[in-house]
Amino acid sequence: MAKLTQEERRARLAAREAEREQKRQQRLRRHVVTCPHCGKEVLDHMTKCPFCGGELSPRGYSPMSEEKKKKIRLVTGIIGAIIVIAAFVLAIFLGD
């Protein structure tokens, strides 16, 4: 296989970069929708239009319910308390 000149390497690198950018743009376009209030393009996961502030209904996503948030906070608090108590008990028994 013949060695590439520096110019050929740069050209190949530029072509690869252009191809990557094109693929990235295609992936991004799949997640773009039009705001029904102002007509501007926004991402499909947004709940509010960043341009006009209109409410949007996200496609394929729904915000977490308040009840679920409370349960997560409760479980996290309990686990944190258990860890603190365990560390305290270990410090007492290992400190002797």
The domain in which residue 81 lies consists of 64-96
Is the residue at 94 inside a domain? Answer: yes
Predicted pLDDT at 3: 81
Average pLDDT estimate for 66-83: 97
Is the residue at 92 inside a domain? Answer: yes
Indicate yes or no: pTM above 0.95.
no
Predicted pLDDT at 1: 56
The three-point CA angle 51-55-56 to 5° equals 90
pLDDT in tens, 11-28: 999 999 999 999 998 888
Predicted pLDDT at 16: 95
- Rounded CA-CA distance 58/69 in Å is 19
* pLDDT higher than threshold 60 for residue 47: yes
Is the residue at 77 inside a domain? Answer: yes
Domain count, the chain: 1
Is the residue at 85 inside a domain? Answer: yes
Average pLDDT estimate for 3-18: 90
